[in-house]
Amino acid sequence: MIFIEYFSDEISGLPIDSITETLPVLVSLESFDLGDITLIFCSDEELLVINKEHLAHDYYTDIITFNYNSDSILSGDLFISVDRVKDNATQLGVSFEEELHRVCYHGVLHLVGYNDTTQEEIETMRAKENFYLNKLFHVKQ
C-alpha cells in the first residue's frame, strides 16, 4: 500500500493521485509484490538533516530512500524534497508533476535494486525512469 505523509505543515496539496496509482504498476512490472511504501514530502532543509544524519552527506538531494524489503515484497520510506523537485523541474524544463513522478519512480527503483553510483548505473537508472514515465505518466497526459 502507498502511504503519503508530509514532514511539515507547509507542504500540502501535491498532485499525488497519479503517483499512488502508478507506483503499484511499476512494482508489479519489476516482478515484486507491493508492501508498504511511504512517500514523505519535506523541504530542502529537512532532507539535508536526514542526509547528514543517516548518510553523512552534507548536500541537498531530491530523494533519500530507506529500504525495508522482505524477499520479493517491496517496502520502504521515500523522503522527497519538494524544493529540489521544483528546482529540478525548472532546470530540466518539465512540469513539477512530471519531475515529482520521476523522483518517486527513482526511489522505488532503488527499492527494486537499481543503484546510481557509477556512470553506467546512472544511465541504467535514467533509462528505467524514462521507460516508466513514458509508460505510466505520459500516457495519462
DSSP state, residue 103 = H
- The domains found in the chain, sorted by start residue, are 2-140 (3.40.390.30)
**Residue 88's pLDDT is what?**
95
- Provide the pLDDT for residue 22: 94
Tens of pLDDT along 8-39? Answer: 767 777 888 899 999 999 999 999 999 999 99
Q: Are strands 33-42 and 2-6 parallel, antiparallel or unpaired?
A: parallel
Pick out the chain residues at pLDDT < 50. none
Whether the CB-CB separation of 64 and 108 falls below 8 Å is answered with no
Q: For residue 18, what is its C-alpha cell?
A: 497519479
pTM for this prediction: 0.91
